[in-house]
Amino acid sequence: MRDYENNKGTMMIDGVSSVDIANKFGTPVYVTDEQIVRENYRNIYNAFAQYMPTEVHYACKANTNLAILSILNQEGSHIDAVSIGEVLTCLKAGFPAERIMYTGVNVSDEELAQVVQTGCRINLDSRSELERLAKITTDIPISFRITPGVASGHSEKVMTGGKGSKFGIPMNQVIDTYARAKDLGFDVKGIHAHTGSGGMTTDPFTDVVDVLCEMVNRIEEEVNIKLEFLDFGGGIGVPYRPHDPEADLNELAILITDTIQEETDIKTVALEPGRFIVCDSTVLLTKCVDIKEAGMKKFVGVDAGFNTLIRPALYDSYHYVAVANKFNKAGVAKYEVVGPICKSGDYIAHDRALPEMEEGDIVAVYCGGAYGFSMSSNYNSRPRCAEVLVNNGEAELIREREDFEDLWRHQIVPARLSK
């Protein structure tokens, strides 16, 4: 979790007053520090690249803002995309197709054909997808996602690698699937597995790499395919609470690259951080619009609800909150921080010690860069919020706030209903 500068009681974001941002761009608003995005990318790339050739495939489902993607394109990042929409968005942001890896699940024929047209790399999720791709083309390099039987993540809803998962080729079908791909004439380049999102220990990552390395050798021995890259997916966790430990990137890099180099002839390792790169780069600023006491509870009503940040309601996720305009004041009472959505589950934070709250205060919700805006919605017919990028003391709008016309823009009322 990031520490922010306190300037006479005001929270500063890379030299810019958070209160000034809220006043200028309105609330709620997501505010991203560009230099943190760059720092996070470089930290994870350098940790692995010092030991072996490395590709960092940014899991863009975490945040697909074109400005954020453009920053990562400048840094030389690759992309992990899970839909044709993500592929096209990354192409629009300037990524060359060869740096985009598409890994869909339950992919339709129409989407598969669209992906082929883009020229990006394709990582197949099922035997069915392989057979259907062969009817479109076999003249492309591919890889496969397998189900390693190893799962990790902050919630069961984000664990992807366990037995019985909807993702990947089951272990008992992997050899036959690679053999079938070879018979069809595909150039098979790699192997991939994904454990889940937000793992905080090295164990799931080292466990899945052990599985992948064993499978790499079996594929070479039994199918006579020499793979070039090993892609271990699964987001590296980040600290959401003030005293949470940070992941030891160097330890993780040593454990993984040592295993790959000692046990296989694989030349390149790929990894797929999304949350790690963007999560702590962003805060959500939201205004206190109501104060209410109800028995034993005090409520701070803010203008951001689970339409803006759904993670607390969906996953019971913890996000640290502070009062941006009272950044030097200690907590004097415990509050529930809740939003304007007509659901009792609409909350940002439970039982948080905050300064004496007043209407008009600006609440800063930390670690909003991953799955914040990207999972936001128009529920309760509320327009989605703006996004701002801060860099070296300057704040720039990178997404306009929606208006009510945006809610209706693609709706059609038949003429017979207008009479």
Angle in degrees, CA 95, 374, 398, rounded to 5: 65
Distance, in Å, from the CA atom of 48 to the CA atom of 256, rounded to the nearest integer, reads 9
Pick the catalytic residue: 213, 288, 342, 367?
342
The residue type of 19 is: V
Angle in degrees, CA 135, 140, 145, rounded to 5: 85
Between the two ends of the chain, the Cα-to-Cα distance in Å is: 56
User: What radius of gyration, in Å, describes the C-alpha atoms of the chain?
Assistant: 23
- 390: helix, strand or coil: strand
Closest CA to 13 of 353, 368, 338: 368
Closest CA to 126 of 79, 81, 180, 85: 180
Distance, in Å, from the CA atom of 30 to the CA atom of 245, rounded to the nearest integer, reads 25
Q: How many Cα atoms sit within 13 Å of 212 on the Cβ side?
A: 35
Peptide bond into 239 cis (omega under 30): no
Kindly report the length of the chain.
419
Task: Show Cβ contacts of residue 1 under 8 Å, excluding neighbours closer than 6 positions.
Answer: 238, 239, 240, 241, 242, 244, 280, 320, 366, 367
Active site residue 367: no
List the catalytic residues.
Answer: 342
